[in-house]
Structure 1
Amino acid sequence: MSSTSRRSPVQGMRRGVLVAGVVGTALLTIAGAVAKGADGALSALAGSLLAFVVMLLGVIAISLVVAGDPGASMAGAGLVFMGQIIVLIAAIAVLTQMGWLQGPVAAAATVVEVVLLQVGQLVGYVRARHEVYPQGGHA
């Protein structure tokens, strides 16, 4: 690797989020169906898909952040996190207006999916090959 190229862990993070999101959404939808029937399945699907989409958009946004100025990475990551929280809360507010939605099922699915996605993102980050300190060892 040349000293001018930078490797990013974002591809690994995106892969981890995709795998965890697909598997988690399927399992949580099945769990919702077993626990509460068709409305439970729809509620679990809505909650898990909401978390999946918001987290995936966050990883995409992080890829834009790390492509820019390295000095602004932490501030950019903080803005991405705040944006995810705002979008998640706004979407939950809209979803609560749906008559078919079972709130506790959707909330539980959202929380579990967020945890699964965070684990997937972390595993993807740890397994990605990237330089931790790219300027180290260069004069």
Structure 2
Amino acid sequence: MTTPPRRTPVQGMRRGVLACGLFGTLALTVVGALAKGSDGALSALAGALLAFVVILVGLLAITVIVDGDPAVSMAGAGVVYLGQLILLVGALLALHGASWLDGEITAFSAVVATVLLQAGQVTGYVRSRHVIYPQAGRA
């Protein structure tokens, strides 16, 4: 008799990130265009897509962590979150001197997109059905 595969919250988190990421990227690009024209739209799009990619890569890492030992999954997810923020700030600092981007719009867009993406990720986690402590029923 085989045990059924463990349900993880990652699929719900992915749905939340994709929904918020697509909506947020579109909305922030429009706001950037209204604020500073085509340069603002490009800068807002760059910031939002940067945050979107960083959060999606973090979800891949969380998938690996959740498949491992359940006792360390929350600590591992915390490390991934911290790594995402460090990577995002590093990328923004690297793009700071780019002449083709408006730094303020890019940074604003990246910060707002990160908050939206994290809200989508948390909402997906909360709404997903998964076992909190899989060893609870075993003796």
Normalising by structure 1, we get a TM-score of 0.90
- Aligned partner letter, 2:120: G
Query: Any idea what SS the aligned residue of 1:135 has?
Result: coil
Aligned to 1:58: 58
Aligned to 2:71: 71
Q: Which runs of 5+ in 2 are unaligned?
A: none
Structure 1 distance, partners of 2:19, 2:72, is: 29
- Deviation of the 1:137 alpha carbon: 3.9
Quick check: 68-77 or 55-64, which moved more?
68-77
Aligned to 2:135: 135
Aligned to 1:91: 91
Q: Which runs of 5+ in 1 are unaligned?
A: none
- Aligned partner letter, 1:106: T
Structure 1 distance, partners of 2:81, 2:119, is: 16
Aligned to 1:8: 8
Cα RMSD (Å): 1.7
Quick check: 88-97 or 10-19, which moved more?
88-97
- Aligned partner letter, 2:87: V
Aligned to 1:124: 124
Aligned to 1:28: 28
Quick check: 77-86 or 111-120, which moved more?
77-86
- Percent identity (aligned): 59
- Cα deviation, 1:53-86, whole Å, max 9, x if unaligned, reads 1111111110000111222223322321222122
Structure 2 distance, partners of 1:3, 1:58, is: 28
Query: Any idea what SS the aligned residue of 1:15 has?
Result: helix
Structure 2 distance, partners of 1:126, 1:70, is: 17
Aligned to 1:48: 48
Structure 2 distance, partners of 1:18, 1:80, is: 18
What is the aligned residue count? 138
Decide whether the 8 Å contact of 2:70 with 2:133 is kept in 1: no
Decide whether the 8 Å contact of 2:54 with 2:88 is kept in 1: yes
Structure 1 distance, partners of 2:79, 2:119, is: 21
- Cα deviation, 1:15-57, whole Å, max 9, x if unaligned, reads 1101110110011001100111011001101111111111111
